[in-house]
Amino acid sequence: MKIALALAGLAWLAHAQAQPAWRPEKQVEIILPTAPGGGNDAVARLMAKMLQDQKLVKTPILVVNKPGGNQALSVAYLAQHPNDPHFLLQATSTLFTNQIQGLTQARYGDFPALALAFIDYSAFMVPANSPFKTMHDLLARLKADPDSVAFSVVARGGTSHAVLAAAAKAGGADPKRLKLVVYKTSAEATTALMGGHIQAAVSSAAGSTPPVVAGQLRMLAINAPKRRPGAISDVPTLVEEGIDAPILESWRTVFGAKGIASAQIAFWENALARAFAGEEWKAWMMKNDVTAPPLRGAELQKYLESQYDHTRNALLELGLAR
């Protein structure tokens, strides 16, 4: 009897090992919460290219732009495809702020986190010919007349808005009186800033670096734990400037659809980890001065939980949370 059971167990094990690992069986969609042409769009298309160039995914990959609703539309689109591993969402930290503000019924924990693409930070930008030479110049104006400076942010109530509100409050200004203009992409905001349509912006430090290097924009400060390397190494942090504002990271994370199987999660974790370990991605990160700790599984979940709590606490203090 024992021998028969042992043989049966070996047969089951051999059968299980013979089963092919899951792989995409049809077109894969990478859903993006922003419009075509911006920095997030470029990252999604690079990710798709790396997955196919490295033959990690052999089926077609389509980048689907679903801008609108501070990322709510893209999340709703992903939610329409439960249990389907062929739909991925390249999400930004606005996924947290939407939930914290009660703007969506979706919860970030509804969707499995598959890979952390990179971490960016918010930077305070003005045109190169702006009268604001330092962060303290800007805060002094905001304290005297908050309505006199039009700021662009990517999302009302999002990470960039929270960073701006916290800095304004630390500088003695009323964050509720800030004049905000929302653009669909950082690229649109940068164009408006260079064109003189707005006076300042809180935007991606990585995305803002090229026009700073070109002498078109001035970066006053960055909301980061320490100075960034490379082309913007001379830009001080808010901490260095004595501005007490929480450091809110602007991450990009890839999520899967709700309810996908563990084997499907494992496939995407492995494929994305290999893509992000490639030389092409390393070169892109170096060029854009961003970091990307190789987090996945429980480590990634722990990171996101920590960031969520930190973001919620900051928004509660600013009166932007529900």
The whole-angstrom separation of Cα 86 and Cα 28 is 5
Instruction: Work out the pLDDT band at 183, boundaries 50, 70, 90.
Output: confident
The whole-angstrom separation of Cα 285 and Cα 118 is 8
- Find how far residue 94's CA is from the centre of its chain: 7
Instruction: Work out the pLDDT band at 76, boundaries 50, 70, 90.
Output: very high
Residue 202 in 3-state DSSP? strand
Digit-coded pLDDT (tens) for 11-33: 433 433 444 589 999 999 999 99
**In the predicted model, what is the mean pLDDT of residues 39-66?**
95
Which position has the token pair 């400060």?
221
Q: What is the pLDDT of residue 198?
A: 94
CATH of 122-232 among 3.50.30.40, 3.40.930.10, 3.40.228.10, 3.40.190.10: 3.40.190.10
| Residue 139 identity (one-letter amino acid) | L
The whole-angstrom separation of Cα 286 and Cα 19 is 40
Q: What is the pLDDT of residue 197?
A: 92
Asked if domains 26-120+249-318 and 122-232 share a fold, the reply is: yes
Which position has the token pair 């979706």?
106
Is it the case that residue 1 has pLDDT exceeding 60? no
Higher pLDDT, 240 or 188: 240
Whole-angstrom CA distances from 76 to 37, 288, 320 are: 22, 30, 22
Q: What is the pLDDT of residue 288?
A: 80
* CA count, 13 A, side-chain hemisphere, 37: 10
Q: What is the pLDDT of residue 17?
A: 40
The whole-angstrom separation of Cα 192 and Cα 195 is 5
CATH class of 26-120+249-318: alpha beta
Instruction: Work out the pLDDT band at 8, boundaries 50, 70, 90.
Output: very low
Tell me the Cα Rg of the chain: 22
Higher pLDDT, 185 or 274: 274
Digit-coded pLDDT (tens) for 209-267: 888 989 999 999 999 999 988 888 999 999 999 998 888 888 999 999 999 999 999 99
Is it the case that residue 115 has pLDDT exceeding 50? yes
The mean predicted confidence, pLDDT, of the chain is: 87
Q: 219: how many CB neighbours lie within 10 A of its CB?
A: 23
**Domain spans, the chain:** 26-120+249-318, 122-232
CB 320 within 8 A of CB 155: no
Q: What is the pLDDT of residue 300?
A: 93
Among 98, 157, 100, CA closest to 322: 100
DSSP code string of 75-89: HHHHHTSTT-TTEEE
The whole-angstrom separation of Cα 144 and Cα 133 is 17
The whole-angstrom separation of Cα 127 and Cα 124 is 11
Q: 210: how many CB neighbours lie within 10 A of its CB?
A: 14
Whole-angstrom CA distances from 150 to 45, 167, 223 are: 32, 15, 19
